[in-house]
Structure 1
Amino acid sequence: MSYLALHHGSYYFQIRVPAALVAQFGQIIRVNLQTADRGIARPIALRLASDWLARFSTAHETARIDLAGVSLIAEGGLESPPLEPLGVQQRLAPVAPSAGFVTPQIIRPLHAKSVSDDELFDTWKRIDRTREASTEREMQAAIRVFRQFTKVQAAELGRSDVAAFRDHLLDKKLARATVSKKIGFISTLLQVGFDAGLLSENVARGLKIPKAKVPTLVRRAFTVAELTRIFSSKVYSQGFRPIGGGGEACAWLPMIALATGARLEEIAQLRSSDIYVDSSNGPVMRITDEDPEQRVKNEGSRRTVPLHPDLIRGGLLDYVEAIGEAGSKWLFPALEPDHDGRRGGNWGKWFQRYLRTRSGLGISDPTVVFHSFRHTFKTLCRAAMIPEDVHDALTGHVSASISRQYGEMPLAPLVSAIAAVRLPVALPRVLS
């Protein structure tokens, strides 16, 4: 018999409790293994089975009961009581034994075991093999910082250890979002260990990060004066193409961002075929992850955006045609991907330096970054009285509204919306 049951795309470990122990443990021990990979789920289930059979045996010796009533639930079917689809938070919430679910203090190994950070990391990594390499590096960095603070092994950690680490990060004046992210990585790692039966509990779960007394800096839109400084700079007036600027990318990325509201990486990873003239709607830009080297932030990020007339007057279609004739796959072939494969990663660092330095644009306000073009575009959409669902479709913002999740946004309203946006500065003509 198997200890596994597949339900709603996720494997569960489950074992029926001996009748004489139901009052103590509930009718069924059931744990969501949070993976759809049987190869990952099976060894976790066997480890949990070993722990639970040992616990039943101990209870048997104590109460002198007969273990002949232990039965396992076969894979493929769910027996009464019915299995409810539970998330991690729900599964760990206390419930009555009569409901057939185990209380949180019960789903634990019999004894705390020594487990290394590497073992926890490898277990976390195996659960989702589609994670970005950058996410894995962030997890490793969080573990490294945590271990610089404490050498207490995972199985011996107390909640006070993680709380002290949180306070240490806050004392270093790190942003609350940064502290929350690092604590979140540690909590995720411990939760994986707990769910795999490697740890007796996740001592970091639910640890709060106090709100900052002073609000975090919020990015703002560009002013007209700042936009004028950008689009009259020597990049446009003198054909200046600095090292790190990615050739023609240093001219086109700001222009496209202002006139479409697209994210930096969305523009940087455009292929030469992603900008074309639609027979019904005119020039458009496709943002997609069809190519293995492209990525999108979320489902709503995949979209087609009509191009603003000012971009056409600026010479964008001429540039696209020239790049296509040169046989380049990428619209901006001079961009050098960073170590995570992001085509806009290194360029973004260059633009930040160019934005701040006196020899560049000399805009020192820390709330102004490349993403400010996106803020500016959203402001312009509101000024043009464009409905929120329309400019969300233009920028790839995902709404929480249920009604907005039905149907698709036609391209025609987007064309009209783009035409209604009035850019606060005239975009220059770029001669590539």
Structure 2
Amino acid sequence: MALIAQPFRHPDSGIYYLRRRVPDGLRQIIGKTEIRRSLNTRNHQQAKAAFAVAYADSERLFNDARQRIGMEHHEPIVVAKVRPSPLPAPQAEPCLMLSEALARYVQSISMSGRSEYVSRRHAVDYSRAVNRYITDMGDMPIGAIQPLDIHKFASNLIQPSAPEVKPLATSSTRLLLARLSSVLAFCVDSGLMETNPVISSRIHKHLGSGKPKRRLDDNRGYSWNELIKLFSHAEFQRLRTAEGRPGNAVFWIPLIAAYTGGRREELAQLYVEDIHQHEGNSWFIRVIDDQPDKSVKTDSSRREIPVHPDLIALGLLTLVQGREPGTRVFPQLLKVSDGFAGIVSKSWRPITQLCGVYQPGRHPLHAFRHSFKTLAREHGIPKEVSDWITGHASGHIGDSYGINPLSRMASEIQKLPSLAKAAGLLPVETEVHIGESRS
């Protein structure tokens, strides 16, 4: 029994295609061994409808070809006198230059539904990757890019031929190639080229793992003693009243990150109304991309984060009380190519060096995210709750049902030890034992 024709789903992009093998006797006339048409959808039901139309079109193409050559069998007299002319080859769009393909890709980004800032940032990052290829290898027709060119390009990134060019780390090379591959995958999906040369080159296999193997002594977060050393240092505490740019953001963002595990950009982009009170009088920080200049990393990043009582005692609410809604918590931070928090990271690194806790390869602000997860494990905060707080997706479909109870999070966050008291930012209450004098 013959198999029923079905849409083909591209393993990388998820786009569905019509793929039909051209019968041997028709290949010389049609000029192809396979008919390949993008159905322009990732939805299977929509793909089935579009597939039926595309399949009928391909069947008409085959029938037209058979009519041209079938006359030899059914009307030999006519064929003897008139030789059929071949069908014209499909009119393909002239092969685009890589720079032109990039322009189309950037234009397509606006259809993704992302915020203006995220789309602009995406366009900048991916354009930088493609333009680096053009600089090193030249602007060429996309159909002329071969796997060998990809290998030459990668080699030149890691070991530049020009001595004045700074070599890239393997991880940076992999990222740049992945972005170039995305642009070329867009060209494949659009029917502008047959295959993606980055994938065909298997360059990522040759480059090895994108991440070094984790060592047992490799700690990407701060230890408890390092946290105390950072927050007890006079240079850090002086930043509480710092003005200008970045001003007191270098005081508050590391502290909030230590108590919440929040990402640096999530905290730097907060609006006044994002720090708010829920039922039960508990305070929460809302992370959401509800403004043009706000973004989230993943769907699970949209969340409510409970505020630890220490942050309230330290005066977090003074940043928002009496302020107009619609204004940002840290208005002195300006959004540039690396977001609002880039200047905070640059200012925080010298603090870590001054305190003697700086380690190459450990991101000075992102390290708080690792520290929070470690402290949560040490002090009995369940993994599911710490994942809710940090915005980590669990990977289990059942966890996408229901809601994350805010009262549970507010209760669990209080299990964290008082870092502020240990660092001398808050006074330590003196315990009074029975029988001792209060005087």
TM-score (norm 1): 0.71
Question: 2:404, 2:124 → 1: CA distance?
Answer: 37
Amino acid at match of 2:144: E
Deviations 1:292-322 (A, max 9, x none): 2211111111111111111112121233325
Question: 1:58, 1:144 → 2: CA distance?
Answer: 44
Uncovered stretches (5+) of structure 2, i.e. residues with no partner: 1-6, 44-50, 72-88, 113-117, 161-166, 428-439
1:266–1:296 Cα contact (<8 Å) kept: yes
CA gap 1:285/1:371 in 2 versus in 1, 3 angstroms: same
Higher helix share: 2
Is 1:175 aligned with 2:173? no
For the residue of structure 2 that corresponds to 1:290, the secondary structure is: coil
Question: Which position in structure 2 is the counterpart of 1:196?
Answer: 190
Kindly state the Cα deviation for residue 365 of structure 1 after the two structures are TM-superposed: 1.0
Uncovered stretches (5+) of structure 1, i.e. residues with no partner: 37-44, 67-107
Question: Which position in structure 1 is the counterpart of 2:77?
Answer: none
2:334 to 336, 359, 362: 336
Amino acid at match of 1:164: K
Deviations 1:37-83 (A, max 9, x none): xxxxxxxx9xx99x98999699669x7247xxxxxxxxxxxxxxxxx
CA gap 1:293/1:221 in 2 versus in 1, 3 angstroms: same
Pairwise CA RMSD of aligned residues?
A: 4.1
Is 1:205 aligned with 2:185? no
CA gap 1:214/1:128 in 2 versus in 1, 3 angstroms: closer
For the residue of structure 1 that corresponds to 2:321, the secondary structure is: helix
1:352 to 349, 352, 360: 349
Question: Which position in structure 1 is the counterpart of 2:397?
Answer: 402
CA gap 1:135/1:216 in 2 versus in 1, 3 angstroms: farther
1:259–1:377 Cα contact (<8 Å) kept: yes
Amino acid at match of 1:135: H
Amino acid at match of 2:152: A
Question: Which position in structure 2 is the counterpart of 1:313?
Answer: 313
Question: 2:245, 2:227 → 1: CA distance?
Answer: 18
Deviations 1:77-99 (A, max 9, x none): xxxxxxxxxxxxxxxxxxxxxxx
Question: Which position in structure 2 is the counterpart of 1:163?
Answer: 151
| Higher mean C-alpha displacement, 182-191 vs 219-228 | 219-228
Kindly state the Cα deviation for residue 370 of structure 1 after the two structures are TM-superposed: 0.5
Question: 1:337, 1:212 → 2: CA distance?
Answer: 33
1:32 to 16, 28, 39: 39
Question: Which position in structure 2 is the counterpart of 1:124?
Answer: 105
| Higher mean C-alpha displacement, 25-34 vs 177-186 | 25-34
Amino acid at match of 2:345: G
Is 1:221 aligned with 2:215? no
Question: 1:115, 1:414 → 2: CA distance?
Answer: 54
2:22–2:33 Cα contact (<8 Å) kept: no
Structure of greater Rg: 2
Amino acid at match of 1:184: A
Question: Which position in structure 2 is the counterpart of 1:298?
Answer: 298
| Higher mean C-alpha displacement, 140-149 vs 51-60 | 51-60
Amino acid at match of 1:143: V
Question: 2:285, 2:391 → 1: CA distance?
Answer: 13
CA gap 1:363/1:383 in 2 versus in 1, 3 angstroms: closer
Q: How does 1:36-185 map to 2 (within 5 A)?
A: 64-65=69-70, 113-129=94-110, 130=112, 132-151=119-138, 153=140, 154-171=142-159, 174-185=168-179
Question: Which position in structure 2 is the counterpart of 1:97?
Answer: none
Kindly state the Cα deviation for residue 148 of structure 1 after the two structures are TM-superposed: 2.5
Question: Which position in structure 2 is the counterpart of 1:101?
Answer: none
Q: How does 1:317-328 map to 2 (within 5 A)?
A: 317-322=317-322, 324=323
CA gap 1:195/1:281 in 2 versus in 1, 3 angstroms: same
- The alignment covers a number of residue pairs equal to 363
Amino acid at match of 1:271: Y
Question: 1:180, 1:109 → 2: CA distance?
Answer: 37
Kindly state the Cα deviation for residue 160 of structure 1 after the two structures are TM-superposed: 1.0
CA gap 1:15/1:396 in 2 versus in 1, 3 angstroms: closer
Question: 2:36, 2:192 → 1: CA distance?
Answer: 17
1:219–1:368 Cα contact (<8 Å) kept: no
Question: 1:128, 1:311 → 2: CA distance?
Answer: 39
For the residue of structure 1 that corresponds to 2:198, the secondary structure is: coil
Question: Which position in structure 2 is the counterpart of 1:415?
Answer: 410
2:277–2:283 Cα contact (<8 Å) kept: yes
CA gap 1:241/1:280 in 2 versus in 1, 3 angstroms: closer
Question: 2:146, 2:17 → 1: CA distance?
Answer: 27
2:284–2:304 Cα contact (<8 Å) kept: yes
TM-score (norm 2): 0.70
Amino acid at match of 2:69: R
